Structure 1
Amino acid sequence: MHVVHIISGLGHGGAETVLYRLVTAPGQQATHTVISLSTEGVFGARLRAAGIEVHALGMKDSPLAAPQALWRLYRLLRQLAPDVAQTWMYHADLLGGLVARAAGVRALAWGIRNSGADLSHGSRSARAVAWLCARLSHWVPGVIIACADEAARRHRQWGYDADRMLVIPNGYDMAAWHPDAQARVALRQEWGLDAATPLIGSVARWNPLKDHANLLEAFALSLQRQPALRCVLAGQGMEAGNAGLMALLRQYGIESKVVLLGRRDDVPRILAALDIYVLSSRAEGFPNVVVEAMATGLPCVVTDVGDAARIVGDCGWVVPSRNAGALAGAINAAIVLLASSEGSAEYQSRSRQGRQRVEQAFGLEVMRKRYQAVWSRLAADYPARSQRRRGSGLAPGATQTSSAPPVARLLFLVNNPAFFLSHRLPIAQAARDAGYEVHVATMDGPSVPLIQEQGFTHHVVPMSRSGSKPWEELSSLVAFWRLFRRLKPDLIHAVTIKPVLYGGIAARLAGAPAYVAAVSGLGFVFTRREGGFDPLRLAATLLYRLALGHRNSRVVLQNVSDRQELRKAGAVQPGQAVIVRGSG
């Protein structure tokens, strides 16, 4: 499989870093080509050194460069004839997506790397492009990959196609991020700090969204209770030449207590020298540095932005954004753990749990496999017009296999997300472990993030709790049909009455290959005594006949009497129904 990545630029940023990790990760099953719409930045040479072909189109070189760059992109895509095009960030999603479709590449995945929480403070261009992308999202990309649950939720609110949206969190190489006792000693000596000095830190560029003012005010407040505390700031703009930063340090009288490092390439060593990592941002998508800090063994204090709270779980402290008092309180609570043997035990426990959490949920191999599964399905759903394959330029460890079978796609259709977790989670986990690409469609609800944490792709579908409004019932059926037509699942498993009835009809209309319905009970319509004409029973019987009439289906029932009723009604055929007691 050949995947072409189109990105706005290859400078020093979160999206660029994740792209580099993804295409250079061990165990590659695809050939990768990277196209930068602007320059090669800092990652171009690194990608080439890893065996990845790189093209830089220089779109920002001059006013006339943009149309020339887009024409070059079109010709490149026609020449490369990739199986899949993966775009990264708004401008590449829009421009790269439209050019890819024009070049005949239908297997297209957009990449959302911004939470959008504070886009109003960003550039006017970014806001306009995001607005356009929302309008085009229903037909340009085959799938939209967001890096964070919060980013996916917010972009759905903006009008992005919810049915095409899925979340793949960033992945991290645990070998690169780990505790480093030697670096801790060496850097503290370099900064003039001893081993016992409590030390917090932050790695972030100078940007209003990172809210360094919040961090420095909180640090000044913490110093009132922890006078030995010190703070390290790394990142672009974290240097004495930054007038705005220096004004804040003077305002709080903390110039001598803050170590300014500027932009550094040895971030793993810097993190290893800290005791506590602090994220003070007022907006984030998926804050990479928090995961990196946890992988290094650092408990984290974070503001409740983007997916930060989801990342730290119960391994750190979460406070509201733009609240220096709350941030200082959490910093104090974290630092206190260093002062006693009991506190030290809790600190070490949080450190171990944080690293384990990262390895299990955000490992590099986890991310690579999820992207590969999405690309495999895209390539199968939207075959390339040309079957030519590149003969060289394989990524390290890649195997050139153009005939690998696509991953089987399983869709659970359940009314309530909490019901899915209580009644179908083990089955979904077993399916995932067996190699299925698992999707879950339910109503929205507070349990949805728990489903997404399992690595399943979640789709919100409309379902009313009652059946009193026929137009709402029809809208549910239409929504199911649209989801099935777009997602093309190999198998649909519907649970509870409405998903079974409307899902079965929609599966037949959409031409789904296989359908399994779990009927927990037939309800009062079938249990009340027969006598004369019963319009409700007639309607229910007709619906069950339509829903369970799929040519390749099985019906899971909990008792023999329900099977007899459905056979009597002509809704199931001999051999179609299976009794599984307690199946829910």
Structure 2
Amino acid sequence: MRILLLTTGLKLGGAEQQVAALARQFIAMGHAVAVVSLTPGQGVRLPDAATLLQLQMSKTPMSMAKALWQLHAFVRKWRPEIIHAHMVHANLLARALAATGNTPPVICTAHSAREGGRLRMLAYRVTDRWANLTTHVSPQGRLAMVSAGAVPAARIAVMPNGIDTSLFRPDPAARSDARAALGLSGDTRLLLNVGRLAREKAQTVLIDAFARLLSEPGTHARLMIVGEGPERPALEQRICQHRLDGLVTLAGVRHDVPALLNAADLFVLSSEIEGMPLVVGEALSCGRPVVSTDAAGVAELLGECGEIVPRGDVPALAAAMHRALAAGLGSAQEQTSRRQRVLSHFSLEAVATEWLACYEHLARTEPD
């Protein structure tokens, strides 16, 4: 098939990484892929075989109209058999394109449990007729969109993100090398968080919980937060308030996350808002124990393979972290069970195969 993946952007985020991963998998499976990004900048790596177009769109009406015209011209030239949009702005532009007629089927995927306020929900509702299918990456997110009136329940399905289990896998050598590079002694536990430094990720709560954890006698631990974003100054201030310099590292953007996950003794997610947090699945795929808040999509990913605590509850998060560290990495069987959960339910290959079946069904049933 000829598959066009339309995305709001290609910066380093979970939805953007999923677009890149699907592009890699589709190409590996013998399909042609074009990736169109509405906005400039690129933090995720795309396969060389993918056709890339960046529209340089801003939020002005003139820029949006120009982006729509450019997208229309590209579709006529490249002739995709399906258009699969990701994130709210790309979803709405794809529907605007479909409204002009003579386009292939359009699928719109939402990645956050909170896609936006009333205006965005109204925009989704008004343009729903031009999408052949809307999907969400988690059941909670799907229900949130239905409850907000953005889409009728019969016209939105759940399709999870896929985890690249060939990239995220247990690797003892990578663990040893990464821990040596980080200067970690054998008895120092590494807690890892990966995500954009943004309010919805609630890393201030994580830092508060980590400070509480360190008050436990005999606790030797470090916390690394991987990512970049507007909350960095607030997080730096919180680290100073707790006198955690040297114990909490804001590591910025890293491209060795699989190695860091292997180096970690515990992965912690503190988010208030998620859709389906890819990094939780990536941690499980590496066999790591996980503690997380009850953000959307977490329960479906974790199952019985981790502990979930209420969002914003610092004592509960600290206590769960303490229990997880006390338990250690777990037995070889426990580590294998974590990875097997991802292999069975959320592997990239399985999700890509399911998408292809959906694409082919829509392409066959779309009227000429």
Q: TM-score range, shorter-chain basis?
A: over 0.9
The whole-number CA distance in structure 2 between the counterparts of 1:97 and 1:30 is 24
The whole-number CA distance in structure 2 between the counterparts of 1:360 and 1:350 is 15
Q: TM-score, normalised by structure 2?
A: 0.93
Contact 2:268 2:290 in 1 (8 A): yes
Aligned twin of 2:219: 227
1:33 corresponds to which letter in structure 2? A
1:58 corresponds to which letter in structure 2? Q
After the TM superposition, which residues 53-452 of structure 1 pair with which residues of structure 2 at under 5 Å, given as runs?
53-60=51-58, 64-105=62-103, 107-116=105-114, 119=116, 128-137=119-128, 139-159=129-149, 160-225=151-216, 226-237=218-229, 242-338=232-328, 346-383=330-367, 385=368
The whole-number CA distance in structure 1 between the counterparts of 2:205 and 2:139 is 25
2:24 corresponds to which letter in structure 1? T
2:188 corresponds to which letter in structure 1? T
The whole-number CA distance in structure 2 between the counterparts of 1:104 and 1:335 is 57
> Shift in Å at residue 238 of structure 1?
9.9
Structure 1 residues 63 and 166 mapped into 2: Cα distance closer, same or farther (>3 Å)?
closer
**SS in structure 2 at match of 1:179:** coil
Contact 1:290 1:308 in 2 (8 A): yes
Contact 1:198 1:230 in 2 (8 A): yes
> Shift in Å at residue 100 of structure 1?
2.8
Unaligned runs of 5+ in 2: none
The whole-number CA distance in structure 1 between the counterparts of 2:198 and 2:237 is 15
The whole-number CA distance in structure 1 between the counterparts of 2:300 and 2:309 is 13
The whole-number CA distance in structure 2 between the counterparts of 1:216 and 1:47 is 33
The whole-number CA distance in structure 1 between the counterparts of 2:43 and 2:237 is 31
Structure 1 residues 79 and 238 mapped into 2: Cα distance closer, same or farther (>3 Å)?
closer
Structure 1 residues 135 and 63 mapped into 2: Cα distance closer, same or farther (>3 Å)?
closer
> Shift in Å at residue 83 of structure 1?
2.0
Structure 1 residues 347 and 130 mapped into 2: Cα distance closer, same or farther (>3 Å)?
farther
Deviations 1:242-286 (A, max 9, x none): 431121012222223213311101111111110010001111110
> Shift in Å at residue 48 of structure 1?
5.5
Deviations 1:65-99 (A, max 9, x none): 33222111122223333322111111111112211
Aligned twin of 1:36: 37
Q: TM-score, normalised by structure 1?
A: 0.59
Deviations 1:387-424 (A, max 9, x none): xxxxxxxxxxxxxxxxxxxxxxxxxxxxxxxxxxxxxx
Q: How many residues align?
A: 365
> Shift in Å at residue 334 of structure 1?
0.6
**SS in structure 2 at match of 1:199:** strand
Deviations 1:318-372 (A, max 9, x none): 111000111011111111113xxxxx6x454432211110011011111111101
Aligned twin of 2:17: 17
> Shift in Å at residue 113 of structure 1?
1.1
1:12 corresponds to which letter in structure 2? L
2:36 corresponds to which letter in structure 1? I
Structure 1 residues 301 and 348 mapped into 2: Cα distance closer, same or farther (>3 Å)?
farther
Contact 2:309 2:320 in 1 (8 A): yes
The whole-number CA distance in structure 2 between the counterparts of 1:349 and 1:315 is 12
**SS in structure 1 at match of 2:46:** helix
> Shift in Å at residue 40 of structure 1?
5.3
Structure 1 residues 10 and 311 mapped into 2: Cα distance closer, same or farther (>3 Å)?
same
1:229 corresponds to which letter in structure 2? A
The whole-number CA distance in structure 2 between the counterparts of 1:289 and 1:377 is 30
Contact 2:23 2:47 in 1 (8 A): no
**SS in structure 2 at match of 1:256:** coil
**SS in structure 2 at match of 1:60:** coil
The whole-number CA distance in structure 2 between the counterparts of 1:360 and 1:238 is 36
1:261 corresponds to which letter in structure 2? A
Deviations 1:418-476 (A, max 9, x none): xxxxxxxxxxxxxxxxxxxxxxxxxxxxxxxxxxxxxxxxxxxxxxxxxxxxxxxxxxx
The whole-number CA distance in structure 2 between the counterparts of 1:55 and 1:243 is 34
1:42 corresponds to which letter in structure 2? G
Structure 1 residues 280 and 169 mapped into 2: Cα distance closer, same or farther (>3 Å)?
same
The whole-number CA distance in structure 2 between the counterparts of 1:252 and 1:135 is 49
Question: Which moves more between the two structures, 179-188 or 212-221?
Answer: 179-188
Structure 1 residues 39 and 100 mapped into 2: Cα distance closer, same or farther (>3 Å)?
farther
Structure 1 residues 359 and 151 mapped into 2: Cα distance closer, same or farther (>3 Å)?
same
The whole-number CA distance in structure 2 between the counterparts of 1:182 and 1:259 is 23
Aligned twin of 1:47: 46
Unaligned runs of 5+ in 1: 121-126, 339-343, 386-584
Q: Is the radius of gyration larger for structure 1 or structure 2?
A: 1
2:297 corresponds to which letter in structure 1? D
**SS in structure 2 at match of 1:58:** coil
**SS in structure 2 at match of 1:47:** coil
1:375 corresponds to which letter in structure 2? Y
Structure 1 residues 58 and 176 mapped into 2: Cα distance closer, same or farther (>3 Å)?
same
The whole-number CA distance in structure 1 between the counterparts of 2:91 and 2:111 is 11
**SS in structure 2 at match of 1:55:** strand
The whole-number CA distance in structure 1 between the counterparts of 2:256 and 2:186 is 20
